[in-house]
Each structure stands twice: as C-alpha cells, then as structure tokens.
A and B are shown apart, each in its own frame.
Chain A
Amino acid sequence: MSGIRTDARTLELIGFALVAALILVVLPLALDIFRLNLVGKYLTYSFVAVGLVLCWGHTGILSLGQGVFFGLGGYCMAAFLKLEASSAANTKIQSTPGIPDFMDWNQITELPFFWVPFKSLSFSLLAVVVVPTIAAFILGAAMFKRRVGGVYFAIITQALAAVLTILIIGQQGYTGGINGITDLRTLLGWDIRPDSAKYILYFVCCFLLLGTMFLARFVIASKLGRILVAIRDQEERVRFSGYDVANFKIFVFCLASAIAALGGAMFTLQVGFMSPSFVGIVPSIEMVIFCAVGGRHSLVGAVIGALAVNWGKTLFSESFPELWLFAMGGLFIGVVLAFPRGLAGLVTDQIVPRLTRFGASRLGSSNSRHTEPSPAPAE
C-alpha cells in the first residue's frame, strides 16, 4: 500500500536480522564468557531503550525515571532469588534463620508481609511485569488525565526516581539499603552463577529482547502506533478526532515501563544482584542517552545505542576512569547537535540513500530510465 512505509519496514526487518545475528551468533562466538556476560548486562538496558523508543521517540513523552521501572522489575526478581538463597539451612548462623541476611542485620525478626508472596516463582515473575505496570499506570493516570506533559512530566519522573532511591536506601531492613539485594544463588535450585548458567541466561535475555522488539514493532505498525505519532505532532488535533489522548499515553507509558522491568529482571539474573544505583536519577538519564545515541525513533537503533554506549563506557573507564562522565556528556551534546536522530538516523538518512543512489546509478546504466529508488539497499 504505502511506499514510504514499506521501505521503512523492509529496512527495519533487515536491522532486526542484523541485531539477531550480532547478539545470537557473532558476539557469543567472538567473546569469552566474562565479556559476553557484560554484553548481556548491556542488553538489559536495551530493553529500557526499546520502551523509550515507544514512549519518547514515538509519542513524545520523555521519561527521566525509567530506572524506577527497571529497578522495580529487578527487585521483584531479586526478592524471589534472595528468599531462595535464605533458606533456614543457609542462614542458620543468623539470630533469625530463614530470612534474608540484611533483615537479620537490621534486627528484623520476621519476614515482612509484602515479602511473603515472593516465595512463589510464578508470583514473582508476574510481579516483575505487574508491579512496575501498576506504578506506571498510577503515575500516568495522575499526570496525563490532568494533561501534565512535556518538561513537567520529565521532572516528575525524575523526582520519582529520586524518591524511590531514597526510600530503598532509607528502609534498609526491608530493601537491603544502599548495598541492594546481594548474594543471589539459585533459581528453583538451578545455580545461576557458573559459566554454563551465564550462557543460558544470556540467550534467554537475547530471545526475550528480540520478542520485545517484535512486540514494539507490532504496536508501532498498528493504527495505535500512528495515533501515538499523531499525539506527538498534534495532541490537540487527536482529541478533536475523538480520541481520549490520556488513555493512549497511559497505555504506551505502561508498556514502556513493563518492558524496562523485563530488562531489570534479566539484569538481576545475569549480574547476580540489584541495588539502588540502577534506580536513581543518573542511571535513568543514562538510559535516555543510550536511546538518544542509538536513535529514539528506531528500535534497532536503541538496542545498538545501549550496547555501543555501554561498551564504550567499559573500554573507556578501564583506561581513563575519571574521564568517562565527560565523554558521556560530550557524546550526548554531540548527538543532540550533530545527529539528532542518532545512529539509526545516520544510517537511514545518510548511508541508505547513498547506497540506493549507488545501486540505482549502476542499474540505471543498463536499465535506462528506472529512477525509482529500490526499497532495500543493494547488498
């Protein structure tokens, strides 16, 4: 039907295939398990970036608090793993055996009521998605129904990230405080620490990410996706087309948060702990930078952006640890000034048209007046 859309979709599918090949084949073959595990950690940020493509890139809702949802997902997962690691046998030296160690250090003698359901894996997995979604729903409903948007929304999400961090640190008997929830060992008796488990978790993370990308792509390609773009362009007009704008914003914000939470849960599983340093303002803003560098309109761009920036961070901070923050700031300014559509924008706006022109000119010599650009670059 529509030409420009078909072209963009073809390009996107090529991108999906490249990402899948990169993370499923190239990286596992090229890297040792230590590095691959790091890549797995970076990929958990890609989840957040995919969510940001939906709510920021497509709908224009900038959330500077995605760390909250990443963290909530991660903490829900960590709660289950921690309870399993705190069996009575493992904790018999504590004054109250059978509860997590940090509770015992804080003179708590009984498992708090909200920790009890996390003994069940199915509850915990459900909570990974549902708890952040409910939080996003409450925040979204409160803001969007009152038509709070733009910068104000960004500031409020940032405040939320600060609030949650302070809450976690302040209530250390219930949350593990600033250290977070550490010393996670097994998932239903399956040890998550050895290399073999790390490989398995890495691939689970990859498939989950690819699934998430397809889900996001389905949403973007639906009429709802076009309504989101319309809201970004002309929110008022969308109301006068008879849509309840707030409901659509709430939906996409909840979806973005649920996706971020999946990333958080995979983070906990692969890295082996969860702490408030992945919840607060700085990580939340970093997540936005990953998305901006990759390209906030592109799912593939966002995933690659998260990978590339984190890879750069690791390499850079191994050699010049004190310079990394400056490099990161410079990178963000550079992206905003020089290529506002990110890496993906560079590819679709610069490289693909050139390839297409190159392909067309070669075709043109044999096939006289065929000027229509071919949708997929001749590869």
Chain B
Amino acid sequence: MNNNTDFLLALENVSVSFDGFKAVNELNLYIDKGELRVIIGPNGAGKTTVLDLICGRTRVSEGSIKFKNQEITGYKEQQIVRLGIGRKFQTPTIYEDLTVFENLELSLPRGRNVTGALFWSRTDEVAQRVTEVAEMIFLEGDPDQLGGTLSHGQKQWLEIGMLLIQDPELLMLDEPVAGMSVSERAKTAELLNEIIKNRSVIVIEHDMKFVESIAHRVTVLHQGKVLAEGDMQSVQANPRVKEVYLGH
C-alpha cells in the first residue's frame, strides 16, 4: 500500500509509553511544507515528547513518522539532523566553553566526520556565513565572546542561530521565549518571523501573547492526544480546549 503524502512530516498513529504510561497516544500530526505550527497544551500533555519522537531522542513504541515520505523511526539523532530536521531545546543548550563564532562554526553542516573535522579549514566562505548568521541573531558585536558568558536571552538566540546555520527544512523550537525579558521577546518574535521563511517550523510555547503574534495553525495536545486543531480563533473558541487549558 502506498501511504505517500504531500506532507513534509507525517506522524501516524504514533504511541509511546514509559513503563505503561502512554505519554503519546495514537497521535496523528501532519505538517505542510512552509507551515508554521504551534503546539500548545497543559503540562504533561506530551508536547516535548512529540518533538523527542520526531528527532529520534525517544523511540516510538508504535506508529510511523515520515519525513518527506521517508520512514525515520529507528534513525539515530544525527541521521535525522542530516535529513534536515533541526531541534532547539527547552533550556538553551550551547557550548559554554566555545566562542560565539565557534558555536556557529560547529553547527555548519560540513566536515561532520572525524577526518573532515580534523582537517577542517576556516575559509572566508565559512567566516562569512558565520558572520551573516551572527548578525541575524543580534550577536555580531563580539564573535569571540565565550558562550558561557552570554545572557540567558542571548543563549537562546545563539541556539536559534546554530539551527539556522544548519539550514534545516523542518525546525522544531521548544519554548523559544521562555525566561526572556519583554524586549528580548519582541526581538525573538521578529527573529522567528524572519527565519520561518522557506521552511516548516513546529513551535511549542506557553506564552499565549507570543503564540498569537506568530501562529498560523495551532494544535492543542491533551494527555498525548490531539484535542483540537485549527487557527487561533477557532481553537480559543473550542469549549473543550477552554476546559482543559485556556480556562485556567
């Protein structure tokens, strides 16, 4: 049977259980090319688990995940990354002992095997690409600054930059504005609106104002299942959604 679809990413009947607890339960989720999808849901709804499943960090118990019609369940993390799926974590994970420049340079999708890395040369082209991205993420000022000395917001941006330089077709962001100040938040929304061009994005976010400012389509998860899906207005109007989540 041919299950091929036009979707960039298709999750079908995906379940995962941890010691009998079903964190994700027969979930179906389809992401179009160029789509920006926001996933919301109360704590424990399985939002982060869904991203973990897509990027190979957690193995699915049942079901299928296809990226560009290619089954990716069972692939290792780095293989999935190389297919074009990028992932940002909830807490900013950058390399603290490396400089901003080096953080971005490492994320450039080239020289990824041992010999490639050993005999890597920092060409003008590499430096230019890194500088370009550093400008985009507002960190062009001091490329030699150590990652560990950046502010929380700057770390978040740096991680977004590290994804950007990978140029993934699908970008997954887990709470990109968590712990940011109001002005940083506005800048991040601007940044996200810039980088979602030409690619699909899945965003997990709690901040409703932020969601309204960027959302195209919203999926509401509850107890590992899709509770509602649609544009922001229809989701907000949905009585079941109000009950489990927005009403609080």
Contacts and interface: CB of A to CB of B under 8 A. Distances in A.
Interface residues of B, number: 38
B106 A247 contact: no
A242 interface: yes
B76 to A, nearest CB: 8
Contacts of A219: 118
Contacts of B107: 241
Nearest to A242: B81
A247 B185 CA distance: 38
A234 B93 contact: yes
A243 B115 CA distance: 12
Contacts of A319: none
A222 interface: yes
A251 B118 CA distance: 11
A4 B93 contact: no
A229 B55 CA distance: 23
Interface in A187-229: 219, 222-224, 226-227, 229
Interface in B67-85: 76-78, 81-82
Given A2-B101, A230-B98, A237 B93 contact: yes
Nearest to B144: A2
A223 B102 CA distance: 9
Chain A interface, DSSP helix/strand/loop, else mixed: helix
A251 B111 CA distance: 15
A242 B82 contact: yes
Contacts of B87: 240
A55 to B, nearest CB: 14
A256 B105 CA distance: 26
Given A233-B96, A241-B166, A248-B117, A223 B106 contact: yes
A223 B82 contact: no
B95 A234 contact: yes
B78 A243 contact: yes
Interface string A1-33: 111110000000000000000000000000000
B55 A240 contact: yes
B25 interface: no
Contacts of B112: 242-244
Given A236-B93, A242-B82, A242-B109, A226 B114 contact: no
A246 to B, nearest CB: 9
A229 B78 contact: no
Nearest to B117: A224
B55 A230 contact: no
A238 B89 CA distance: 12
B81 A239 contact: yes
B106 A227 contact: yes
B94 interface: yes
Contacts of A233: 95-98
Nearest to A239: B77
Contact of A237 (B94, B102, B143): B94
Contacts of A2: 99, 101-102, 143-144
B113 interface: yes
A4 B81 contact: no
Contacts of A232: 97
A4 B114 contact: no
Contact of A244 (B78, B95, B118): B78
Contacts of A238: 106
A4 B145 CA distance: 9
A223 B113 CA distance: 11
B114 to A, nearest CB: 5
B119 interface: yes
9 contacts: A2-B102, A223-B118, A224-B117, A230-B95, A237-B89, A239-B77, A240-B55, A240-B78, A248-B114
Interface of A: 1-5, 219, 222-224, 226-227, 229-230, 232-234, 236-245, 247-248, 251
Cβ-closest 5 pairs across A and B: A223-B120, A224-B117, A242-B81, A239-B77, A230-B95
Given A4-B146, A226-B105, A234-B96, 5 more contacts: A2-B102, A223-B122, A240-B55, A243-B78, A251-B114
